[in-house]
Structure 1
Amino acid sequence: MEVVQVLHMNGGIGETSYGNNSLVQQKVICMTKPIRDEAITDLYCRTTPRSLVIADLGCASGPNTLFVVSELIKVVDKLREELGRQSPEYQVFLNDLPGNDFNTVFKSLPSFQKKMSDELGTGAGPCFSREFRVLSMAGFFRARVCILPILLTASIGYLRDLEFNQNNKWIERFHFQLLITASTFHLCLVPELLESNKGNINIASTSPQTVIGAYYAQFQRDFSTFLSCRAEELVAGGRMVLTFLGRRSEDPASKECCFIWELLATALNDMVSEGLIEEEKMDSFNIPQYSPSPSELRLEVQKEGSFSIVRLEVSEVNSSAYNDEFSSADAYNVAQCVRAVAEPLLVGHFGDAIIEEVFRRYREILSDRISKENAQFINVAISMAKKG
């Protein structure tokens, strides 16, 4: 599967769009605000930046796209007022894969700029006039960010320090990076499975150990590359915060990270049994995502060696987008949330003719199962500092 070509959120503003089905993701963003604020506060109070570059990498589209950007700017603006500093210049980079709906994002920019100017007032200085710049770029996260950020699942804030290299050309070193993702860690490709993951579309309780091992090995390779790229970009002492939907358990097949995909697989398998989907097609479909545990993240950070861990926290996010307790009415919302993320992958593999039926069945299965299982999403947040 060519992940770069098919992995993106549903665009537009319609009923199945990511923008209208990302309230659970917004919960995660709000819950991780304290660790984000702590990191940027610590960094900003130790520096006097003239330019603050905020890159939302893996920005998708909808209200969450610029939400973290606005929150970061508000924290910095309050700090600069308390410290008696001038407002920095703000540059915003919006990054995602080529299939992302950048048009909808850019249509929202005028209202975003006006809202921030109104909230911050005249003290914000030039940051929302001619010195406020927004750029977009498409790419995957297996390379360095630098001038053209190429990262997949993130909202990242940078404090930039420019210096000359040996060839007398400008290079960039970033003091601060914030990666906020409300999904599992996207793998750069579906791992090469040594045997069939029959009946499953991701790691599941019935997956063979070789399949689980292949997913974990792919995660290790991808996350190590990710850390190495970020290490090249950060000055000594620079900060980075990452958040993932993950798991508490050491079992990669734990229901706390796999139940959503297991229930979607149930809907697909029912259609296989009725001859609506080819069994071979089902057996060859696997979603390129991995939900890491705190210990797995800690191990990879230690092995790569460029960062020290400042904080590592785990929290629960209720699967209901609106209430503290799940009700049958929320099955629709959860199904729509999953559809907004997974539909492009399903269409790329099975075609679009089955999509409505798949998610009709998925909603029914969710209504019956998810409330009984008291389903919670597990969020893992890790704050790191670049070693000297």
Structure 2
Amino acid sequence: MKLVDVLHMNGGMGDISYANNSLVQRKAIILTKPIIEQAMSDLYNNLLPETLCIADMGCSSGANTFLVVSELIKTVEKERRKHEFHSSDFHFLFNDLPSNDFNTIFQSLGEFEHNLRKQTGEKFAPCFFSGVPGSFYTRLFPSNSLHFIHSSYSLHWLSQVPDLIEKNKGNVYMSSTSPPSVIKAYYKQYEKDFTNFLKYRSEELMKGGKMVLTFLGRESEDPSSKDGGYIWELLSMALNEFVVEGLIEEEKVDSFNIPNYTSSPAEVKYIAEKEGSFTINRLETTRVHWNNASNNNDIINGGYNLSRYLMEEMGSPTLRHTCRKQNRIADALDKTGIKF
């Protein structure tokens, strides 16, 4: 079974849904708000399009999706009123993998538009919304059709599990005990995927268009450092405890690897410059505290909150089946003594 067919964030509004376990992602969107506003302001004032075509890549579902939309609309309305321009229509294209919960997005549109009109006024420009299922590592839109591309907390997910020539024994991600070939395979897959993403977006974005990308990364240049994948190292610890207790076969843990890569700023810059389609205007890093992983911000329950976040991140049943005993994972996380 292909990863594109099973990987997704948990839909709906339940206890382990993306909607209720995505405060880290929401905080990242808020932190990048000034960058998004500046990029959209520059684009709008330079192009003055009759219809603004905006794609949100890896949109998932829930409040975060509409947070991005509302900020972009408010930015354009502010510029329009300041310069007394004519209104531009908005066409928002929501992209994610085919198994994403698009239903929740479209069922929420009426309430979203109603609330936004209260904030911006009745002269609010018409908005049109479309869902575009498919991997953003492929072509998704017609050539030169997009003005603005946004993606937040999505591009660290790979298109597939890297092809490993050696077992990543005892690990589910890159770690200090992973063979060098595993580290190399992970980077090779990331370089291929990010290069394809940039290539296809350059074909879809019109001249003068803008793109803002936010993704989970690391500060260290060492791919196996703890600041890049420590949550997965903690998950490995929990799964290996299951192996010792006979709850999971060791072979299954050794063959399970997370299709994820937390890149460094230097890697992002290198790949972007090598691919050559885009000029980087701003490349910034920031830290987000993991205690924001859940709506429950009780530090005492940090391990439990993070375990819920891990469950949400591994959205499909195929990825979740080894993690059903959530409290046991939480115990393993809390044994570290680290407060999230």
* Shorter-chain TM-score range: over 0.9
How far off its partner does 1:370 sit?
6.1
- 1:356 equivalent in alignment to 2:324: yes
How far off its partner does 1:61 sit?
1.5
Q: How does 1:44-193 map to 2 (within 5 A)?
A: 44-125=44-125, 127=126, 132-147=127-142, 172-179=144-151, 181-183=152-154, 185-193=156-164
* Contact kept in structure 2, 1:326 and 1:371, CA below 8 Å: no
Q: Which moved more, 1:298-307 or 1:90-99?
A: 90-99
Q: How does 1:251-330 map to 2 (within 5 A)?
A: 251-321=222-292, 327-330=299-302
* Contact kept in structure 1, 2:51 and 2:88, CA below 8 Å: yes
How far off its partner does 1:332 sit?
2.3
Of Structure 1 and Structure 2, which has the larger fraction of its residues in helix?
2
Residue 201 of structure 1 is matched in structure 2 by: 172
How far off its partner does 1:10 sit?
0.8
Q: Which moved more, 1:73-82 or 1:99-108?
A: 99-108
User: Distance between the aligned counterparts of 2:46 and 2:311, measured in 1?
Assistant: 43
User: Distance between the aligned counterparts of 1:249 and 1:211, measured in 2?
Assistant: 18
How far off its partner does 1:294 sit?
0.3
User: Distance between the aligned counterparts of 1:247 and 1:31, measured in 2?
Assistant: 17
Of Structure 1 and Structure 2, which has the larger fraction of its residues in strand?
1
Residue 340 of structure 1 is matched in structure 2 by: 312
The one-letter amino acid of 2:334's match is S
Measured at CA, do residues 61 and 178 of structure 1 come closer, stay the same or move farther in structure 2, by a change above 3 Å? Answer: closer
Superposition TM-score, scaled by structure 2 size: 0.94
Residues 339-373 of structure 1: per-residue CA shift (max 9 Å, x gap): 111142xx315x73x4321x21221222232626x
Q: Secondary structure at 1:90's aligned position in 2?
A: strand
Residue 193 of structure 2 is matched in structure 1 by: 222
User: Distance between the aligned counterparts of 2:324 and 2:315, measured in 1?
Assistant: 10
How far off its partner does 1:234 sit?
2.5
Measured at CA, do residues 255 and 197 of structure 1 come closer, stay the same or move farther in structure 2, by a change above 3 Å? Answer: same
Residues 110-168 of structure 1: per-residue CA shift (max 9 Å, x gap): 1001011111112324x1xxxx3222121111222325xxxxxxxxxxxxxxxxxxxxx
Residues 255-285 of structure 1: per-residue CA shift (max 9 Å, x gap): 0111100001111111111111111111111
User: Distance between the aligned counterparts of 1:68 and 1:277, measured in 2?
Assistant: 41
Residue 160 of structure 1 is matched in structure 2 by: none
Identity of aligned residues (%): 46
Q: Secondary structure at 2:184's aligned position in 1?
A: helix
* Contact kept in structure 2, 1:319 and 1:326, CA below 8 Å: no
Residues 284-324 of structure 1: per-residue CA shift (max 9 Å, x gap): 1101110000000000011111111111101000111179x
* Contact kept in structure 1, 2:53 and 2:146, CA below 8 Å: no
Unaligned runs of 5+ in 2: none
Residues 166-213 of structure 1: per-residue CA shift (max 9 Å, x gap): xxxxx544333222x225611111111010001111111211110000
Measured at CA, do residues 230 and 315 of structure 1 come closer, stay the same or move farther in structure 2, by a change above 3 Å? Answer: same
Residues 207-256 of structure 1: per-residue CA shift (max 9 Å, x gap): 11100000000111111111111111223443211111100100001101
User: Distance between the aligned counterparts of 1:96 and 1:235, measured in 2?
Assistant: 21
Tell me the number of residue pairs that the alignment of Structure 1 and Structure 2 aligns: 338
* Contact kept in structure 2, 1:327 and 1:371, CA below 8 Å: no
Unaligned runs of 5+ in 1: 148-170, 376-388
User: Distance between the aligned counterparts of 2:179 and 2:155, measured in 1?
Assistant: 21
